[in-house]
Structure 1
Amino acid sequence: MGRLADIMTQCHGIDIDEAQERLLMDDLHAIMKVNETMNLTRILSEEGGIVLHLEDSLTGLPFVEDAPEGAYADLGTGGGFPGMPMCVMTGRQTLLVDSVQKKVRALEGVASQLGLGDKVDVYAGRIEDLGRERAGEFSVLTARALSALGSLMELASPLLKRGGRLVCYKAQPSEEELSCALGIQDMVGLTLKERRDFSLSDGSTRCIFVFEKTGKPRVKLPRRVGLAQKDPLRPR
């Protein structure tokens, strides 16, 4: 058992087999190699990458596995975390979404290099535009350190099918952020199903929120590009 598998088993009760761990580490090394010429991640050491990319990503695995079968997208994927690890662990058809075209092209190359080219697609554009193009097509979405919870809920709602899940990775959100998110649930057609607070193996604290698409939004979504962040929905 390698270091990553040991961490996931001992700290999170998640089992990773030898082949999965090898593929996950190959992904991390490939991203670190790309990062030498392109800014994909601020984490430059293997040890930091194991904890702050792979371990952090995989803490959401039980929630992604618990979502209905079907397509998966990682919103604001950056260096492909948690999207690529989720693809490795679940085998779901995966879409990596980022507005920076050179990033997603690099990730496309990494996926091909890892033998995941048939499972991983990329989308270079804004989430709002994807919501118009592929409305209601996704069973599960992830968003890691991307935006405020309320903004993520608004962006995710048009993409999710009924019963689909949004898995949000956060540090510790403020009470104001959480209150705002809970206050717009009916407005965007999402319902908080689970919250999990935990620590990574380095002691840093994390929080995962899981929302389910339970109804139609009461406002027309998606709104114009950028409004979810610049003028977020507020509880009425």
Structure 2
Amino acid sequence: MAPEKAREEVERYLDGILEINKTTNLTRITSRDDALMLHIEDSLVGLPEIEDAPEGDYADLGSGGGFPGVPIALYSGRNTLLVDSVKKKMRLVKELVDELGHGDQISVYDGRIEDLALQKKGQFSVVTARALSRLVSLLELSSPLLRRHGRLVCYKADISPEELEEADAIADLVGMKLVSRRDVLLSDGETKRTILVYEKVSSPRLKLPRRVGMAQKNPLRPRS
């Protein structure tokens, strides 16, 4: 899809989300101007890294109202799966995607990431996660979903040295490796984003996925 057409379609989607949001809470952002920056512009910050990933299917983890998944899908042309355990959100997002004519490209999964990994192990070339969880948990959750050389693209608003060190300590255990980091300011000149990209370079050295919730409740630590 040409960038001009993709922009038009993304804004149509955003307007649909804001309309639904009047009666059902899909996003805390209600101003269209704020949503243009914090949903569309912010979603597209990671587009270069996603386009640099191997060809193939894309999954957006913790997609919520469909950001960054829908904008990335429409700009990149990848077959896309929006993943979120809140079934009502996913139903409304799917209805809107279908209404706008993108149902063949964009589908939804209204379950837990660990369950998806059992069903679609190694089937994705790129996954995204925006403001979803700590890096150590994201590495564990994404590894079984990705095929070899697939990429995890993380959107972070505030990344501490401790969070990076925690992730680095278990990256090899789950077969992942940090390959790039890019810091960005959004158009307001104040809102900061860090895009971190991890590549799946080998098979995990433990059985993944673990039980639902373990990645967050009991994060992995390096084996002694």
Q: Does 1:178 align with 2:164?
A: yes
What secondary structure is seen at the aligned counterpart in 1 of 2:163? Answer: helix
Q: CA deviation at 1:21?
A: 1.5
Residue 61 of structure 2, aligned match among 75, 82, 107: 75
Which residue of structure 2 lines up, in the alignment, with residue 103 of structure 1? 89
- Out of 87, 96, 119, the residue aligned to residue 73 of structure 2 is 87
In structure 2, distance between residues paired with 1:57 and 1:131: 24
Q: Deviations over 1:88-144 (max 9, x none)?
A: 101111000000111111111111122101001110100000011110000000000
Aligned partner of 1:206 in structure 2 is 193
Partner Cα separation in structure 2 for residue 90 and residue 18 of structure 1:
13
Q: How do 1:45-64 and structure 2 match up within 5 A?
A: 45-64=31-50
Tell me, in whole angstroms, the C-alpha distance in 2 between the residues paired with 1:122 and 1:219: 28
Pairwise CA RMSD of aligned residues? Answer: 0.9
What is residue 139 of structure 1 aligned with on the other side?
125
1:169 and 2:165 matched: no
1:224 deviates by 0.5
Superposed displacement of residue 18, structure 1 = 2.4
**How far has the Cα of 1:220 moved from its partner?**
1.1
| Equivalent residue pairs, number | 221
Q: Which runs of 5+ in 1 are unaligned?
A: 1-15
Aligned match of 2:103: 117
Mapped partners of 1:195, 1:82: distance in 2:
18
Q: TM-score, normalised by structure 2?
A: 0.97
Equivalent residue for 1:219?
206
Counterpart amino acid of residue 155 in structure 1: L
Gaps of 5+ in 2: none
Q: Which residue of 1 aligns with 2:115?
A: 129
Find the aligned partners of 1:21 and 1:139 in 2 and give their Cα distance: 24
Q: Identity across aligned pairs (percent)?
A: 58
Report how far residue 86 of structure 1 moved: 0.8
Contact 2:3–2:75 at 8 Å: present in 1 too?
Answer: no
User: What secondary structure, in the 3-state scheme, does the structure 2 residue paired with 1:139 have?
Assistant: strand
CA offset digits 1:195-236 (Å, max 9, x no partner)? 011111112111010000000111111001001000001234
Which amino acid in the other structure matches residue 72 of structure 1? Y
